[in-house]
Structures are given as structure tokens and as C-alpha cells.
Structure 1
Amino acid sequence: MFMNNDLNIALNAARKGVETIKSYQSKALNTREKGHHDLVTDADLETERNILSYLKEHCPDDMILAEETKAHEKLSGARTWIVDPIDGTTNFAHDFPVYCVSVAMWENKEAQVGVVIEVNRNEEFTAVAGEGAWLNGEKIRVSNTSEPKDAFIGTGFPYNDLSLVESYLKLFRHLMDELQGIRRPGAATFDLCCVACGRFDGFFEYSLQAWDVAAAALIVKEAGGVITDWKGGDDWLFGQRIIAGNPKIHQVLLDRVEEFIPIEQREAVV
């Protein structure tokens, strides 16, 4: 596995997050809603504090964008760490196994390093721009599935933005018939990493935030996958809509989104 200083920092920061999460797995959680169906726990908050403390110690001049503290909302060209302390908080709060820590470093508005750790399986997905992607130190690649009938994909169900539900359900109904299978693990970072290592052939979702995709999208791209927004463009980090996949299945999903989702719904209203 290719290592550089930034990847080492990202890995160590994410591992500190995992340690914190595991310390809460046998405790009663304090949970509240920060938005409609959008949970936050005391574990999220402490995990983020510990990750950010490590990053600030080792990279004191860098910017930070994190889910719970949101140090700033947009990217300049400066070095910026983008952190999701627990992606899959609802899973975590219900002791359902899929939840991840995500740490990315962006510079000049491009992802440079990405780390996603799935806590329960202790799977460490990593990528460095231009150097490739790995799972627990082993090189990974997207699948070579080309036919929709053979495609196994991930998605996310709408939970706090229901404005697209009718269009989404029409798309979902069509894909249920066209594809081999669809799954919804409940953590977009994990879904994207499953694309990167070939478990999923594709993935699409809307209402995502930058910290949900900043690390995992780089992992997909470095594994040979394609990442776009729902218009086939590059506005996926803050655009709240993403399609990922191997090149063939990505195109299938993009075509179906264009077929079933009205053009005015293919980008977020901000």
C-alpha cells in the first residue's frame, strides 16, 4: 500500500475515531434529533472531538469541515480535512452493524487522501490521489460487470428530504426489475467503498453531504470507478446527488436517472 504523511495522519485520526466508537458500543447512548429523522449521539460528538484534536495537533494550519461542528461550509483551495465521525448514526444507535468513520484531505479543491473504516468488520479503505485504492493494504478495483441484469447496486432511502420521493420510487421500481439486486446498508461511505472493491457495481443517492462522500468518492475513483452528480457533472461534493459505479453501470444509472427524474430535481435547491 502506498503511504505518505497525509495518509498516515488520516489513518491514525480515523483509528482514534474507531476506538472512541467502540468504547460506546456497550454503553447507553444519549440520542437526539438534530433534524427530521437525523440523529446525533454523544458518541458522534466525542468521536469528532477526538479526531479533530488529532488533526489539529498534527496539521494546525489546515482547515476542517466536519459533520457536527462544520468549521466552514465551503472549500477554498487551502488544505482541508473533511470528517464524518459516524456515518450510519441511526444504524449505530440501533446496534445495527454498518457504520463508518470517514476522513479525507482536500487541497486545491481536489481530494488528495481518503480513509473510510467500517467499524464492526475493521475494514480500512484507503486511497491516495494518483496512487490507487486499497482495502486493508490490498489493492482494490471496481467490478467489470457490464449488463444491467447482472448488476448489484447500493442506494439510500430518502429520510429528511422527501421532495423527490415520487420520482425516486418510479426509478426504484424500474431498477428493481432491471437489475439483479439493490441493497440499502444505511451508510453512504460504506456503499461507495463497496463499489470500489467490486461488491457493488454501482450506487446512487440524494440528500448527501460533503462529509458523506469526500473520502469514499476518491476511493472509488482510484479503484477505477466513475463519480458524477445526477446530471453527469462534477457537482457531487456539495451538490447532494451522486452516482458511482464501474464505467458501464455508472452510465446505466445515469441514463435511468435522466429517464425517471425530472431535470429540475437532478440538482439540489440551495
Structure 2
Amino acid sequence: MIDLKELCFKTNDIARKVGTFIKEQQSRIKSDVIEVKGIHDFVTYVDKTAEKQIVAELKLILSDAGFIAEEGTETHRAERYNWIIDPLDGTTNYIHGLSPFAVSIALQEYDEIVLGVVYEISLDECFYSWKGAPEAYLNGKTISVSKAKSVDASLIATGFPYCDYDQLKKFMASLEYFIINSHGVRRLGSAATDLAYVACGRFEAFYEYNLHPWDVAAGSFLVTQAGGKVCDFKGGNKFIYGKEIIASNNLVHNEFKTIVNKYMSK
């Protein structure tokens, strides 16, 4: 039986080590090293190298685990344990010299996430937790979701669609509602960071569609460990592989979910 606490701290060290490499490389990024995976979807040698580094390090601490990794540098899947990795969440920010951008690492045991680490590199903030931990943490200190009780007292985070525009009109209608009826809406450009910020109370709620497991696996786990709630747009549990997610501080969850569902499920 693995010690998830020990494994989490080793994963933290890996995320920080790779984060140092990512930060050091930012000033060297030029247009000729940026690849286009799809419309508005970019990758650099930094993403790929960072992923290879993470995979190599994780193999040393849990040799029988498989991998679900954004850049596909490792594709082996295991029956019980699989790491879900985004080596650089927020690549567009990164190549433009902006923040945030983050390393996101989760461990899935069968169908359950049991460990999550999000390292936001520019602020040197490492968010983490593991199954069995009493809460979630940021650089060694306990964090929890906010205490706001209504959407009109909430700061909302989201991500703009960058390739699937079929739901754009519905999304813009939801955005208009939250702009008018909340403390405001923020779009940081890193879903992993958005979720970590819900976990530590900086945002009350977050929603986005067309996301991938590596975008949300670690961050969604942090939200629940910090006392929040996560679901898909219909209130179900298909938020890791279902390409849509709602995360909140729990107190505003039902109200927030109802509003998102009203606009996004038409």
C-alpha cells in the first residue's frame, strides 16, 4: 500500500523542480519554436521537455503507474494507478510573457483521484493534497474555500473557448449574466490555476467547457479537499473526462450550477 502523503510531497518536489526549468526557459521562447496543435492551441519544446522530465521522475517514485499526459510523450496506461499530467497549463500566457502558468499533476487510482498538485510557477505557489488529508495546502499552510453565500457576492472565473465555438452564443449569454450579477468575471488562461484559486478562496466559482482531464484532475481534487464542490454542467460527476466543469465554494454551488445549467444546457 502506498503512502499518499509521502508521495504527494515527492510530487511537489518534482513540480517545483520542473517549474524552475520552465521559468528559466521563458525568456528564450521565440516564434520559431512554437508549434500549432490546433486553432489557438500551442506547444513548445518547453512543454514537451517538461513532460518528459515529470514522467521520468514520477516513474522513480511509483514505477507501476501509467500516464495520461497532454503532450503524449508517455502513453502507457495501467490498470490501477495513472498519473494525469499537464506539464505547462497556460502555454499561451507563457509564450506571451504573461502569468499564470502552472504544472498540474494528479494521481488516479482506478476511477478516483487520490492526489493533486498544482504548482503556479510565476508566484511560486504550490497547492496540494492527498486522499486522507484533512484539508488542502498552499506552501505548507492550510487553505479552504471562501465563505461567500451567494453569486452576487462572488468573483467568478472562467475560460474563453478557443476551438469549439458551437456553444459560444450560450457561453456569452452566461458570461453576460455573471458580469451583471456578481462581483465580476476573471479569465486567467490556466484552468488548473483557476481551480486552485477556488480551493484557496480567491474565487468563489469557476466554470468552463471543452477542457481535458489534465486541465482539471488535480485542481478539482484540491477544491473538494478544501471544502468545495465540483460537478459537470448538469450536476453530475463527469467533469474530468466529460469536457465541462463547475467548481465552487459549496455555499453558492446550487445557485451557480442552476445558472450555468440554464444557459449552457439549452
TM-score normalised by the chain length of structure 1 = 0.92
1:82 maps to a residue whose letter is I
Aligned to 1:98: 100
Q: Which residue of 1 aligns with 2:200?
A: 197
Give the secondary-structure state (helix, strand or coil) at the position aligned to 1:215. Answer: helix
Aligned length: 261
Q: What is the root-mean-square deviation in Å for CA atoms of aligned residues?
A: 1.7
State how far apart, in whole Å, the 1-side matches of 2:253 and 2:191 are.
Answer: 16
Question: Which amino acid counterpart does residue 116 of structure 1 have in structure 2?
Answer: V
Write out aligned runs for 1:121-270 (5 A). 121-131=123-133, 132-263=135-266
Secondary structure of 1:33's aligned partner = strand
| Structure-2 separation of matches of 1:179 and 1:221 | 23
Deviation at 1:23, TM superposition (A): 2.2
Deviating more after overlay: 233-242 vs 142-151: 142-151
Matches within 5 A, 1:43-82: 43-69=46-72, 71-72=74-75, 77-82=79-84
Q: Is the 8 A contact 1:20 1:46 kept in 2?
A: no
Are 2:43 and 1:19 equivalent residues in the alignment?
Answer: no
- Residue ranges of structure 1 left out of the alignment (5+ in a row): 264-270
- 250-259 or 85-94, larger mean C-alpha shift: 250-259
What is the Cα deviation at residue 21 of structure 1? Answer: 0.1
**Residues 130 and 222 in structure 1, CA contact (< 8 A), matched pair in contact too:** no
Structure 1 contact 65–81 (Cα < 8 Å) conserved: yes
Distance 1:69 1:262 in 2: 31
Separation in 1, partners of 2:15, 2:6: 14
Secondary structure, in 3 states, of the residue corresponding to 1:163?
Answer: coil
Query: Corresponding residue for 1:10?
Result: 11
Q: Tell me, yes or no, if the aligned pair for 1:81 and 1:106 is still in contact at 8 Å.
A: yes
Which deviations, in whole Å up to 9, do the C-alpha atoms of 1:140-195 show, x marking residues without a partner? 11011012221111000011111100111111111111111110000000000110
2:17 maps to amino acid? K
* Unpaired runs of at least 5, structure 2: none
Is contact 2:52-2:73 (8 Å) kept? no
User: Which consecutive aligned stretches of 4+ in structure 1 deviate over 6 angstroms post-superposition?
Assistant: none
Give a deviation string over 1:108-128, Cα, whole Å, max 9, x none. 211111110110100010011
3-state DSSP of counterpart to 2:255: helix
